[in-house]
Amino acid sequence: MAEVVVAASITTQPTLDAPARRLDATAETGTADIQVEQLTSQEAALEILAKPDHDPHVLPTFETRSTSPILYLPPLLSSLPLDVGDAQNPTTSLAFSSPSVPRPLSTESRLPSIDPASLALHRTLHHFRPVTEEYAKTPYSEAFNWSELYLPLEEEREWYCVVFRSRRRDGSDGEPLYEADKKAHEEAVQNGGLILYWYGTPHPETGLNLATCIWQSRTHAAAANSRPHHIRAMRLAAASYERYELERHRLRKVKGETRLRIEPYDGGDVGW
């Protein structure tokens, strides 16, 4: 894993083919940082987030303070198209019956379409979570519970993952960025391809954080770069982060296997 680098300023806009540039359409970390700063009670936060009708873009506030940090938030999954059979059904698995294992969140906007293999991935990603508190500095293939996520044997496909490791600049005004990120995220879902957005919380000592998105294809991710809300969020974020690292990976499902493979992105198309 490459070391996190310090960036004093940004003079160029990022693209999916320029990893040295700061931002990418697939990692809206401002939402995570602003929300996390407001989450001052772990138990209350998890109770709120566990509600099926919770708006993941509403900033929660709590009067009761707790010394226990919130280490990460639930996965934020793109809502399925209305013509998909389980699009309206809330998560009822016993795995989400405990406040310590909050239900995944969903977006207000819906995906315009999703292929069968991506639908299977969407379902298993309800259980997506980090396996270490040090996920912000852990290799992507080791930071999450990939070995616990299963897909049907007959499925064979690739998906495109983007990882954004960052540290917020002290004193940066997060509210405008938060609002821009909210709109950029919903914009990405409406335009198609975004399956999951996950973000952690800043490390209590280093301030480092990690966000990741999983797309149906690299083409979808690239198209999101040019959308107006993303462009605005990207410009606002330039002044908000002092450290960043952008990574890209392939998420592979091989026919005849049930588990997923994580591989560094080595160029070319991914998914469809």
Q: In this predicted structure, what is the pLDDT of residue 229?
A: 82
Q: In this predicted structure, what is the pLDDT of residue 43?
A: 35
- Which residues are CB-contacts of 267 (< 8 A; sequence separation ≥ 6)? none
Q: In this predicted structure, what is the pLDDT of residue 230?
A: 82
d(CA 165, CA 82): 34
Max CA-CA distance within the chain? Answer: 51
Q: What averages of pLDDT result for each successive group of 10 residues across the chain (272 residues)?
A: 33 34 38 35 37 41 37 86 72 47 84 97 95 96 97 97 92 78 89 95 92 97 87 80 90 98 96 89
> pTM, whole model, 2 decimals?
0.72
Q: In this predicted structure, what is the pLDDT of residue 244?
A: 80
Q: In this predicted structure, what is the pLDDT of residue 156?
A: 97
Count of Cβ atoms closer than 10 Å to residue 185 Cβ:
28
d(CA 33, CA 8): 20
Three-state DSSP at 234 gives helix
Identify which of 214, 232, 129, 215 has the alpha carbon closest to the alpha carbon of residue 178. 232
Instruction: Record the tokens describing residue 129, joined without a space.
Output: 């979570």
Q: In this predicted structure, what is the pLDDT of residue 190?
A: 94
Contact 265, 248 (CB under 8 A): yes
